Amino acid sequence: MLLEVAGLKKSFGSIIVADDLGLAIAPGEAVGIIGPNGAGKTTLFNLIAGSISASAGSIRFDGRDLSGVPPQGRCRAGIGRTHQIPQPFEKLTVFENLLVGAVYGGRKAEHEATQSCGEILERLGLLKRANTLAGSLTLLERKRLEMARVLATEPKLLLLDEIAGGLTEGECAELVATIRDIRESGVAILWIEHVVHALLAVIDRLIVLNFGRKIAEGSPKEVMQRPDVHQIYIGIEA
Amino acid sequence: MGEAAAKPTQTFRTGTAGRAPGAIAAIACVMLLALALLPVVAGRNLIQDMIFLFYMLALAQCWNLLAGYAGLISVGQQAFVGLGGYLLFALTLLGGIDPLLAIPLAGLVSALFALPTAFIVFRLRGAYFAIGTWVVAEVYRLVFAQFKPLGGGTGMSLTPSITSSVPGIEWVKALLNVRTPAARDLISYWAALALMVGTLGFVYLVLRSRRGLALGAIRDHEGAAAGLGVDIYRVKLAVYVATAAMTGMIGALIYLQKARISPDAAFSVTDWTAYVVFIVVIGGIGTIEGPVVGAVIFYLLQRYLADFGASYLILLGTLGIVVMLFAPKGLWGLITERYDLALFPTRRRLVIPPRAEIARRVDFPK
């Protein structure tokens, strides 16, 4: 297994955001996570990416225990993460944003990184904007940059946090095509998404979280038909 | 999408930004030469003013790297100015070392002091870090006030034998036909010029190196930088120690020129941090040009308005507040909003071969 999470616990005061969570992802696999707001989806990403630490439980990646490994170490190990609200380096150009990922996360020399960053920008349709300041990008472009920058670190596992939210149908379809393409290049994907139809177009397996617990897991079709999932998700499903 | 997208369709390379880097470099060289030759024509007052401008500019560059890029809002840099100054006195008076050699040594020792200081203050964040650095600077001041061989609380002066023993002083006296005190100022002038250019060059090279990428990322979004593999603690520690070394050297030079030191003056938060913050803020924090613009403006204000005493300080404060409210990016920020200008281009440009646009249209049918 590429990622193995077992017995993960985390609470903020009296609010439990991760309660005995466990999941596993094989190399190259695409897994979706759904759940109502406050179910602990983003917290799970924060725990995996190392921006917060768990109260209990273990996270293993690529056969290595990640406890005590800081975010930069996890990135270098191959965990790439996008944020729900894009966090670009606004006063750097789009290209420089990617360079940060390639040079520090991907541990490349700058001249080596140039070529791969250019290719990623081309792949994500950002080439025209390469020398623009990231602060002047539109929402769609910011989301693409968020993904492009993580791809520059050459991750083995890509954590996508609601990347399709707020996009039009056409933009969303384009994004799905891009994510499929990334997946075909061998990168495993763990994707939190409220736009369920986008998710279902890519993933092999679906996990449902509620109140920090895993309440369902299986093939997307089966899971979506379960009455309890339906009940929790009614009114939210797109 | 498909196969075409997966394989490279062209070769990319990096270029540097800036309209005419050659022209700017040429102007910089001419300016540098003019500044180096200024003592031939300038009077002693102007030389002393320029020394002040140079070291304030150098201090501002250091603080800008620290606060504007690494996010370390220190209000305790006077710790290293004072430390550098006292080290110069200790090394020359007690150690009998040549004053010009004592300057780099003071920088080295300042860096050694900065390391344990960092281990303490780096445990604090944000406003607490700022207060912590100030407290540390006060501790430095109190320690030096207790140290009797260096004059204790009242301070002391450099002996004339030391101030006149600066290497090259006889040569300057003969060449420009000046007396010893004026010749001493000229040596200080060239040392200050060298230190200012050195600081500017160092900051520029750091920002153009791979460390510069990390610093830009940390300036814009610390959390995201860590998530992309940047070791924030290491970068910040390196910046803190390097700026301490430079600040220490500047401090040593300042007190070589002043030739008199006391704990209250050497560790003054107003002179060595508040004014420096003012320079960086009105010039434009987080840019390399900002402190240059700010230092020139501060020098002019100081030159023409300092005689008004308290109202001068009120004016400085008001100007600082007005700039923060209406031009938070500083005066350099106002200029770059209108013109795409960079005196010290640090931006990396991706050079896209002309075929790129065609290839993209084929790959992404809309």
pLDDT (tens digit per residue) in B73-123: 999 999 999 999 999 999 998 888 888 899 999 999 999 999 999 999 999
Question: What count of other Cβ atoms lies within 10 Å of the Cβ of residue B162?
Answer: 20
- B216 contacts A91? CB cut-off 8 A: yes
Are both A68 and A21 inside the same structural domain?
yes
**Containing structural domain, residue A96:** 87-154
**Could you say which DSSP state residue A84 is in?**
S
Are both A68 and A162 inside the same structural domain?
yes
Instruction: List the A3-12 sheet strands across, edge first.
Output: A15-25, A3-12, A56-61, A64-65
Chain A interface, mutation test: which of B228, B235, B288, B289, most A Cβ atoms within 10 Å?
A: B228
The answer to whether A90 and B218 are in contact (CB under 8 A) is: no
Bridge partners, residue A8, by sequence? A21
Q: Which of A104, A122, A154 is the last residue of a domain?
A: A154
Interval B41-71: pLDDT, tens: 888 889 999 999 999 999 999 999 999 999 9
Tokens found for residue B140:
């430095």
Q: pLDDT grade, residue A234 (50/70/90)? A: low
Q: b/e map of A123-145 (b: 16 or more CB within 10 Å)?
A: bbbbbebbbebbeebeebbbbbb
Q: Which of A97, A128, A154 is the last residue of a domain?
A: A154
Interval A129-153: pLDDT, tens: 999 999 999 988 999 999 999 999 9
Are both A168 and A213 inside the same structural domain?
yes
Interval A158-217: pLDDT, tens: 999 999 888 889 989 988 999 999 999 999 999 999 888 899 999 999 999 988 899 899
Are both A142 and A159 inside the same structural domain?
no
CATH of domain B19-346: 1.10.3470
- A127 contacts B224? CB cut-off 8 A: no
Are both A126 and A225 inside the same structural domain?
no
| Out of A76, A96, A130, closest to residue B213 by CB | A96
ipTM: 0.90
Residues of A in contact with B356 (CB under 8 A): 122, 127
Q: pLDDT grade, residue B3 (50/70/90)? A: very low
Are both A72 and A184 inside the same structural domain?
yes
Residues of A in contact with B350 (CB under 8 A): 93, 95, 114, 117-118, 121, 130-131
CA torsion angle for B330, B206, B342, B315 (degrees, to 10)?
Answer: 20
Q: What are phi and psi of B171, to 5 degrees?
A: -60, -45
Q: What are phi and psi of A51, to 5 degrees?
A: -80, -20
Chain B interface, mutation test: which of A53, A84, A95, most B Cβ atoms within 10 Å?
A: A95
Are both A161 and A66 inside the same structural domain?
yes
CATH code of A188's domain: 3.40.50.300
Tell me the CA end-to-end span of chain A in Å, nearest whole number.
32
